[in-house]
Amino acid sequence: MSVDVVIIVTALLVVAPCALLGCFLLLRRSVMVGDAISHAALPGIVLAFLLTGSLGPLAAVAGAAAFGLLTVVLVDLLERGGKVRGDAATGIVFTGLFALGVLLVARYGGNVHLDLEHVLFGEIAFAPLHVLTVGGVDLGPRSWWTTGTVAVLAVAVVALLYKELKVTTFDPALAAVVGISPVLVHHVLMALVSVTVVGAFDSVGAILVVALLAGPAATAYLLTDRLGLMLVTAFGVGAVAVLGGYGLAVVWDLSIAGMIASAVGAAFLLALLAAPRHGLVGAAVLRRRRRTVLRRRLVAHAARALGEAATTAQLAARLQWPVSQVERVRARLD
């Protein structure tokens, strides 16, 4: 099987859950939870090794998943206590757990290669080297099975709970009134994010996952105001970033994960500048058009009030504008 196909398909399978979940995290202002989970998983990886003695990916992912869910629970407990804001709670939990992981590595992992750089930074170029074999039968790239399972799970949950996710995201009070528990939906979403981040550890690394969680969603947010279209746009942006980033990485002989993340950033910057309504250029043009329309209406109103025979000087005096500005506006009206 082609190496290019394995890498691209693996990345696209990561894009699917990240794009969908990233949109809801962005709208809930919780997008950095993914980064928190990726760092807080470190002590789970170390403890999994200490308990099992195995350096295999299954033990590492299991330990990371346990601490990913623990991160979500601890952040939620701090927020619900009312003493700590959400962003502060996230920062406290993930830095504390990450520091615990560093201490565990320093204390117990000095003579063992835990491959933490692979887990945290990832190298998607290694995906074709790892195959899943059951009973001597080659079932294809292991990354396809892990990321594919996560992608199917995320898409299925979002499809089934789309209404609940939508109403709890935009109006939690209304959701509670109609019988939908915002807390329960939030826990389901956070658990799904944890599974997504951890599930991609062995294939692409947490840093690329965080980039795909935040970047495509933020880009889509600038391009549309409709949730359904935002989800589709986020996936499209992520897919284009994967294809473009991989192509450039091959041509320039650069890190594939780094180039894909850079392509995501470039897409966001392009949208920030050129988005029709919310981009910097588009917003400036829209404001200018609105000012022009307002000026024309003001001049037309003043002309009606003073009579059609009103001179430019009279209109300028009434509006307290420079005569030259009134002349420009009248010329456009004519």
CB proximity list for 28: less than 8 A, separation 6 or greater: 169, 186, 189
Specify whether the CB–CB gap between 21 and 213 falls below 8 A.
yes
pLDDT digits (tens, 9 = 90+) for 264-293: 999 999 999 988 777 777 666 666 666 666
3-state helix, strand, coil in the chain (%, to 5): 80, 5, 20
Region 251-267 average pLDDT: 92
Q: Count the Cβ atoms, other than its own, within 10 Å of residue 309.
A: 7
How far from 83 is each of 77, 93, 215, CA to CA, in Å? 10, 14, 30
If pLDDT is split at 50, 70 and 90, which confidence band does 261 have?
very high
User: What is the residue whose two structure tokens read 């919310």?
Assistant: 278
Rounded Cα distance between 123 and 142, Å, is 14
Specify whether the CB–CB gap between 319 and 302 falls below 8 A.
yes
Rounded Cα distance between 234 and 227, Å, is 10
Rounded Cα distance between 46 and 98, Å, is 11
Region 168-173 average pLDDT: 93
Write down the pLDDT at residue 112. 54
- Tell me the two tokens of residue 44: 């789970």
Higher pLDDT residue, 77 or 248? 248
Rounded Cα distance between 87 and 75, Å, is 9
If pLDDT is split at 50, 70 and 90, which confidence band does 157 have?
very high
